[in-house]
């Protein structure tokens, strides 16, 4: 296969331009817009496969195995939104593809300024996506909050980068750091933790996830989270001596616990899954910490890759169920299993998987990640991560109980589109659990 440098990014950029051009028509054809979104994301994925064989690199971008692996994750997380996006809205399609392009650039960035550009490229469309995906002022309010948080993160990164540059005179990483450089690296890491929603920098996240349309929340919690994890990993690579790395396991453990505890009392489903996503982000930060502590082993990378891959199915599937079922609160879940057996059964599988019950992909994901932590002698953070999984089981089981074991009351909700996606995600999760080597051999074959 011949590879095209920056091919995936080019495909996405073409998609953005195409969507905007279609928008010039008086009435943009919905079908064409949706097809364009799917084609761009699928095309990017295909081109990423093609470019996997060579290690292209320039001053600002590179194609290594991590960059390719994470691009798959990003496109995997984005594909459901491409399928279910509101095709009437050309701006929404352009914003979606623009955000995906930013993530894709982030996955390929090889120096610090490029990371910053990609970060902003990914974030700006995401704010608008949240505001625009659902009519009403709440989305707007959440988007402004999100924008503000993102602005702070961007500013922190910029400040950190200047301090770091003042110390090292390098934009592509350095090993020796004075306290000035340490402070700079720490600030840059804070920006990444902001994006991941690490406790206590997670205050913007539940509002944004709750206000956005469910499928957009799914996109943010999968593709965006994957990109942010890679962002943190690149920082660890570019500044391997940075002091912040030693704190990552503890930050991750605290975030995992805090997210799980805060999700316990949530009544609204989207808000609950937002906190659940914070908890999972905590496990991922712990995973990055373990990976960095064990000399950046390839096992650590594949554990993170597996976790994010399984999470792409779980989170997109649960948000797709929320969209399909039209249920908004836990009280409305009660007794609805019988009315929509296939989708509800798939949702239940996803819940068990999120709770880490075997034989599902979520179990394997948690196992591999915690194993990395134990292997790096991070016993306490690993135990905290395990306890967070236990706490989270209380609400995943609680929802299972409401869905199947309790009596329904109130009017039956109107179901929307998306049932096949929920079922497909559940099948994906079961496959990952029953045959976990599928993922490793697949990603092994694709990244070579």
Partner 1 sequence: MNAPLTMLWLTPLAGAAVCAFLARYGALFFSMLFAGLVAGVACGQSSGGVLSVVNELGPVWAYGISYRLSADSLSIGLIALTAFLNLICVAASWELEVPAGYWACFMALASALTGVFLARDLFFFYVFWEATLIPMFFIIGLWGSSNRLHAAVKFFLFTFAGSVFMLLALLALVSAHHRITGVWTWDLAALDATTLGPVAPLVFWGLIAGFAVKIPMFPLHTWLPDAHTEAPAAGSVMLAGVMLKMGVYGLLRVALPLFPTLSFEALPILGGLAAFSTIYGALCAMAQTDLKRMIAYSSIAHLGFCLLGVLSRTSQGLTGGTLQLINHGLTTGALFLMVGFLYERAHKRGLSDFGDLATRAPYLAFFFGFSTLASIGLPGLNGFVGEFMALSGALSVLPILAFAGVLGVTLAAAYALPAFQAVFWAPAGPGSVSAKVTDLNRRERAVLWTLSLLMLWIGLAPRPWLAYFEPALRGLVR
Q: Which of 370, 419, 422, 430 binds partner 1 (CB under 8 A)?
A: 370
Burial class from Cβ neighbours inside 10 Å (0-12, 13-18, 19+) for residue 437 reads: exposed
Q: Which of 152, 374, 424, 446 binds partner 1 (CB under 8 A)?
A: 374
Token pair for 406:
């309790």
Instruction: Rule CB under 8 A: say whether 427 interacts with partner 1.
Output: no
Distance of alpha carbon 307 from alpha carbon 367, whole angstroms: 9
Cβ at position 380, least distance to partner 1 in Å: 11
Contact 195, 234 (CB under 8 A): no
User: Is residue 359 reached through a cis peptide bond, with omega within 30 degrees of 0 on the bond before it?
Assistant: yes
Helix, strand, coil % in the chain, rounded to nearest 5: 75, 0, 20
Among 180, 246, 331, 390, binds partner 1 (CB under 8 A): 390
CB of 321 to partner 1, least distance (A): 19
Of the pair 97, 439, the CB lying nearest partner 1 is at 439
Quote the DSSP letter at residue 169. Answer: S
- Calpha distance 141→106 (Å, rounded): 27
- Binding residue for partner 1 (CB under 8 A) from 124, 404, 408, 413? 404
Query: Which CB atom, from 59 or from 405, has the smaller least distance to partner 1?
Result: 405
Stretch that binds partner 1, among 55-63, 239-247, 317-325, 392-400 (CB under 8 A): 392-400
Contact status, residue 211 vs residue 138, Cβ threshold 8 Å = yes
Q: Which residue, 243 or 359, is less far from partner 1 as judged by CB? A: 359
CA distance 233 to 306: 15
- Rounded Cα–Cα distance for residues 246 and 154 (Å): 23
Among 268, 236, 270, residue whose Cα is nearest residue 251: 236
For the chain, the C-alpha Rg in angstroms (whole number) is 21
Nearest approach in angstroms of CB 266 to partner 1 is 17
Check binding of 352 to partner 1 (CB under 8 A).
yes
Residue found under tokens 């195409």: 18
Q: Which residues contact 264 (CB under 8 A, 6 or more apart)?
A: 391, 394, 395
Residue from 42, 383, 424, 446 that binds partner 1 (CB under 8 A)? 383
Does 335 interact with partner 1 (rule: CB under 8 A)?
no
Binder among 113, 358, 413, 420 for partner 1 (CB under 8 A): 358
Q: Say whether residue 386 binds partner 1 (CB under 8 A).
A: yes
Task: Check binding of 401 to partner 1 (CB under 8 A).
Answer: yes
* Residue whose C-alpha is closest to residue 376's, from 291, 304, 302: 291
Query: Is residue 406 within the footprint of partner 1 (CB under 8 A)?
Result: yes
Return the half-sphere exposure (C-beta side, CA atoms, 13 A cut-off) of residue 194.
21
- Cα–Cα distance measured from residue 181 to residue 162, given in angstroms and rounded to the nearest whole number: 9
| Phi, psi angles (nearest 5°) of residue 62 | -145, 160
Return the structure tokens found at 48: 């990423």
Q: Is 380 in the site for partner 1 (CB under 8 A)?
A: no
Q: Pick from 17, 162, 379, 445: which binds partner 1 (CB under 8 A)?
A: 379
Say whether residue 442 binds partner 1 (CB under 8 A): no
**Which member of 82, 393, 419, 432 binds partner 1 (CB under 8 A)?**
393
Nearer to partner 1, 398 or 416 (CB): 398
At its nearest, how many Å lie between partner 1 and the CB of residue 246? 20
Site string for partner 1, 292-311 (x = CB under 8 A): -------x------------
Region from 5-13, 33-41, 316-324, 374-382 binding partner 1, contact rule CB under 8 A = 374-382
Q: How many residues bind partner 1 (CB under 8 A)?
A: 31
- Minimum separation from the CB atom of position 72 to partner 1 (A): 19
Q: What are the tokens at 296?
A: 């950046």
Q: In the structure encoding, which two tokens stand for residue 447, read together?
A: 């990244």
In angstroms, the CA 360 to CA 364 distance is 7
The verdict on 326 binding partner 1 (CB under 8 A) reads no
Q: Which stretch binds partner 1 (CB under 8 A): 74-82, 90-98, 170-178, 368-376?
A: 368-376
Query: Does the protein bind partner 1 through residue 420 (CB under 8 A)?
Result: no
Residues at the contact surface with partner 1, assessed by CB under 8 A:
299, 352, 357-359, 363, 367, 370-371, 374-375, 379, 382-383, 386-387, 389-390, 393-394, 397-398, 400-401, 404-406, 436-437, 440-441
């Amino acid at each position: 296969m011949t590879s095209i440098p920056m091919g995936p990014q080019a495909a996405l950029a073409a998609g953005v331009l195409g969507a905007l051009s279609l928008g010039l028509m008086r009435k943009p054809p919905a079908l064409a817009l949706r097809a364009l979104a799917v084609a761009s994301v699928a095309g990017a994925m295909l081109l990423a496969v093609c470019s996997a064989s060579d290690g292209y690199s320039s001053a600002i971008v590179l194609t290594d195995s991590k960059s390719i692996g994470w691009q798959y994750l990003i496109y995997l997380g984005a594909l459901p939104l491409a399928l279910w996006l509101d095709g009437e809205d050309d701006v929404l399609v352009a914003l979606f593809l623009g955000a995906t392009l930013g993530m894709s650039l982030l996955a390929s960035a090889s120096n610090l300024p490029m990371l910053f550009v990609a970060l902003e490229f990914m974030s700006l469309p995401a704010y608008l996506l949240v505001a625009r995906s659902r009519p009403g002022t709440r989305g707007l309010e959440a988007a402004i909050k999100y924008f503000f948080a993102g602005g702070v993160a961007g500013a922190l990164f910029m400040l950190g980068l200047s301090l770091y540059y003042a110390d090292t005179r390098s934009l592509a990483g350095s090993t020796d750091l004075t306290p000035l450089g340490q402070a700079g690296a720490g600030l840059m890491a804070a920006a990444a933790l902001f994006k991941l929603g690490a406790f206590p920098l997670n205050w913007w996240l539940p509002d944004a996830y709750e206000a956005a349309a469910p499928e957009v929340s799914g996109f943010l919690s999968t593709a965006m989270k994957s990109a942010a994890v890679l962002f943190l990993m690149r920082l660890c690579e570019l500044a391997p001596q940075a002091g912040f790395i030693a704190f990552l396991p503890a930050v991750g453990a605290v975030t995992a616990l805090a997210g799980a505890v805060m999700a316990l009392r949530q009544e609204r489903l989207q808000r609950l899954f937002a906190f659940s996503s914070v908890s999972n982000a905590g496990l991922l930060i712990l995973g990055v910490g373990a990976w960095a502590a064990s000399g950046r082993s390839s096992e650590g990378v594949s554990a993170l890759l597996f976790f994010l891959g399984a999470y792409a199915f779980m989170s997109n599937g649960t948000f797709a169920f929320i969209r399909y079922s039209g249920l908004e609160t836990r009280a409305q879940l009660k007794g609805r299993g019988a009315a929509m057996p296939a989708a509800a059964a798939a949702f239940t599988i996803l819940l068990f998987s999120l709770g880490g019950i075997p034989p599902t992909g979520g179990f394997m994901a948690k196992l591999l990640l915690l194993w990395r932590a134990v292997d790096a002698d991070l016993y306490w953070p690993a135990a905290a991560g395990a306890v967070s999984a236990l706490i989270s089981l209380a609400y995943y089981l609680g929802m299972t109980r409401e869905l199947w074991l309790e009596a329904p009351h109130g009017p039956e909700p109107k179901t929307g589109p998306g049932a096949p996606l929920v079922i497909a995600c559940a099948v994906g999760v079961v496959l990952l659990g029953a045959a976990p080597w599928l993922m490793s051999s697949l990603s092994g074959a694709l990244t070579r």
